[in-house]
Every structure is written in structure tokens, then in C-alpha cells.
A and B are shown apart, each in its own frame.
Chain A
Amino acid sequence: MSVTIKLFSSLREALGVSEIEFDLGELDGAPLEADVAAIKAALSKRGADWQEALNQPNLVHALNHKVVYLEATVSEGDELAFFPPMTGG
């Protein structure tokens, strides 16, 4: 089991991918859960484009379809999305 990572708008465009699976086993100690910040930090190491995309100001994170802070706990099977500020309406 892993965490589904979804990317939207300019992040999806910059990274050329809309969805990936992230195995929590990639993190130090292979924990069963981790906070958003730890997953964001691990993904940021995938390359300069990931580093830039995930560390832009005003990045929004949503866990299971709800906006959360970086401290929110992510477990296996969860869906974690990263995107820029929303501009609907």
C-alpha cells in the first residue's frame, strides 16, 4: 500500500505528471504514517523541477479532498494533492 499523490494546474504542467504512488517505505525508518511536510521533503529530492514546484509560495495541500496544514498525518491509502491557489468562479 502507498499514498496517492495528485498534482494539478501549474504543478502538473511543470512536472509532466498528474498522479503518482508514493511508498512511505521510502522515508527514513519506513514509517506507517508521516506528516505532509515529510512527504513533500522526500518528493522535493526527486530533482530540481520537483524542488521548485513543491516549494513555491502559497502551495496548497489537500488530504483526502480537504485542505490541510503541513503537520497533517498521512497514512497508507490516503490521497494527498498539491496545487497552487485556486482560481475558480
Chain B
Amino acid sequence: MSVALQAEAIDVAAEYSALVGHAPGAAVATFTGYVRGESEGRAVASLELEHYPEMALRVLEELGQQAEARFQLSRWRIVHRFGQLGLAETIVWVGAVADHRGEAISACEFMMDTLKTDAPFWKREQGPDGGDWVGSREIDSRRRARWRLEG
């Protein structure tokens, strides 16, 4: 039931253990996002993630609370990194605990689809040809919109 914004790599195993605790719910789902090696055909060597700390915290806390209410979660956690990230490093991790798999999986998808367009982070990819800010993608807006239509 919490949010972490951090510069250091995400310890996925530790996050999972903390989420599940000593009394796991019937269904636990998590998602981990990593820095990819290419973007729209261009090689990516590293990623810089700029963020608006106070707003990011507020948006992600509200998002977790929305997911909790919408999918009847017993526990949830959102971890997002900022700063300099190397290839194949973790960027984001979300976890949800519910009574059934449908709610747990949907909650993770809802949190990811929403944070991509609503949480104030901006990616700048560094490749062999220099750096460039990542533009917003139509697919992300469409995925975000699905949750508005359904609920």
C-alpha cells in the first residue's frame, strides 16, 4: 500500500517478499519493466528519466488507491525509478494482491497503463547518435482510454 520513487535499481525479489508477507492473498500479480535496447528502430545505450517528484508521488499514491478500490486489492505497491538507467535495468515495478487472479492481473495492467500517461516522468534515450526525448505514443493513450471506457 505504498509508493517508492528511487534512483537505485529495484530489488524485485525483496519487493515481492515484502508485498506477499507472511500471509499471501489467494492471488498475487506483479509487473516489472526494463530498459529496452532499441526504440523505434534506433539503438538505445542508456536512459535518463526526469521526474516531478512531488506530483509523481501524489499521482502514484492516488493511482494505487484507485486500483485498491476498483479491484478489491488487499495490498499493492508501485516502485518507479528516476535518474540515469543502463540497458536492461529495471524502470518500474507494480504488485497487487487480491482474492482472485482476474483482479490482481487487471490491477497491474490498470496501474501500468495509467502511470505511463498520467505520472510525470519523461524518458530521454541516449544512443550512438546522441540523445532524444521520447515522444508520447498513440498506443499508450489508447490503452489508458480503455480503463476510462470500462469503468
- A residues at B contact (CB < 8 Å): 6, 8-10, 12-13, 58, 62, 65-67, 81, 83-89
Contacts and interface: CB of A to CB of B under 8 A. Distances in A.
B52 interface: yes
Given A62-B55, A65-B55, A81-B55, A89 B133 contact: no
Contacts of B101: none
Given A8-B50, A86-B117, A89-B91, A66 B58 contact: yes
Contacts of A6: 52
A87 B122 contact: yes
The number of chain B residues touching the other chain, given as a range, is 20 to 34
A87 B134 contact: yes
A13 B133 CA distance: 10
Contact of B33 (A58, A67, A89): A89
Nearest to B80: A88
B58 A86 contact: no
Residue in B33, B92, B122 whose Cβ sees the most chain A Cβ within 10 Å: B122
Contacts of B54: 65
B58 A88 contact: no
Contact of A8 (B59, B80, B119, B120): B120
A85 B117 contact: yes
Given A87-B121, A87-B136, A89-B92, 7 more contacts: A8-B52, A12-B50, A62-B52, A65-B59, A67-B118, A81-B52, A81-B55
B116 A88 contact: yes
A89 B146 CA distance: 17
Interface string B100-144: 000000000000100111111111100000000111110000000
